[in-house]
Structure 1
Amino acid sequence: MLIVIGGLPGTGKTTLSRLLARRLAGAVHVRIDTIEQAIVRSGLARQPLGPAGYAVGYALTEDHLRQGLTVIAESVNPLSITRDAWREVGVRAGVPVAEVEVICSAPDEHRRRVTTRSTDIPGHRLPEWEEVVEREYEPWERDHITVDTAGQAPEESLATLVAQLE
């Protein structure tokens, strides 16, 4: 199965993705931020990368799916074109696709998360609050799972997601 997790920075995507990967047997977490920063560290490109990180993520994800693994593909996934591309990866691999949007509906909590977190990827620059709220982010047009992490412990958000995936 392919589980595509998207949402604005600071909503809890990475935390939720990691917890879900640990929970599901045979699951792997593919994180676009990690891929993009590796490309930057290689010296081949600078931020913003454009579609390069996503293209690598799509290829890795399809390889993992063809090996029989469940993939949790995590990125901001702000555009319908990227969401369509993830869905196409699942179709090519012949697996079901679940699309998940992670939100934090409490603006003060979301801002606090964005302004107080630290990066876990060496050299990765986290966006400022203004960049998050001004970011291009198209509404999700088709049916998908929404997980609101506001006011919840990560384990509560995980339980909500697992229940909806079942």
Structure 2
Amino acid sequence: MRQPAPPRSRPALVVIGGLPATGKSTVGRAVAHRLGASYLRIDTIEQSLFVFSAYGADTDALRHAVTHGLGYDVAYALAEDLLTQGLHVFAECVNPLKVTRDAWAAVARRTAAQFHEVELICSDPAEHAHRATTRTVDIPGLPLPTWQDITERDYAPWDRPHLTLDTAGKPPDHTITELSNALALTP
């Protein structure tokens, strides 16, 4: 006799934010893979839009739209579609402002998804600077921010509880396990 499949938890939206070079892509991609979850990366979306803008007549308008949040808007819509299909979604982005954080929360509310906000930090400035200046690009054509760009970036403090993980002084596998355990999601 066949055993019934275990009940699946309701879909979860996990938003992994933080400054560039804190480990968001490495950690988010790995945990999403472990869970068989969808993975959305703002850098991928924005770079695709920038590349596409080279084909259009109004390149400046599209580049302006991307710079002012079009990539996030596309990601919110994709996340909503995936969540309504019952899939867990990991969204990886800097998520620098209250408005972006609130928009992600609204996606979770509209889809009745579990909502987990995660901020990765690197508390050691020397290590963070080293990561920023030695990492390689994994999205063709994506310009990486300089250390000065990162330190001068507009990044508002969080105004609500969220999970903060410090990646300084530890291998990525440690943070991957730490996040997996904290989320306690099932595939």
TM-score, normalised relative to structure 1 = 0.96
Q: Does 1:118 align with 2:128?
A: no
Which residues in structure 2 correspond to 1:38-117 (within 5 Å)? 38-43=48-53, 44=59, 45-46=62-63, 49-117=67-135
Question: Where in structure 1 do 4 or more consecutive aligned residues deviate above 3 Å?
Answer: none
Question: 3-state DSSP class of the match of 1:97?
Answer: strand
| Unmatched 5+ stretches in structure 2 | 1-11, 54-58
In structure 2, what residue type is equivalent to 1:91?
R
Counterpart mapping for 1:126-141 below 5 A? 126-141=144-159
Amino acid corresponding to residue 147 of structure 1 in structure 2: L
Q: So what's the TM-score if we normalise by structure 2?
A: 0.86
Residue deviations 1:97-149 (CA, integer Å, cap 9, x gap): 00000000111110000000111111110000001000000001111001111
Q: Following the alignment from structure 1 to structure 2, what is the Cα–Cα distance between the partners of residues 141 and 165?
A: 21
Larger Cα Rg: Structure 1 or Structure 2?
2
Corresponding residue SS for 2:63: coil
User: What's the CA shift for 1:157?
Assistant: 0.3
What CA distance in whole angstroms lies between the structure 2 residues aligned with 1:144 and 1:165? 12
Distance 2:93 2:108 in 1: 16
Alpha-carbon separation, structure 2, partners of 1:28 and 1:147: 21
Q: Output the CA distance in 1 between the equivalents of 2:142 and 2:177.
A: 29
Question: Between the two proteins, what is the percent identity of the paired residues?
Answer: 52
Aligned residues: 165
| Offset at residue 46 of structure 1 (A) | 2.5
SS at match of 1:126: coil
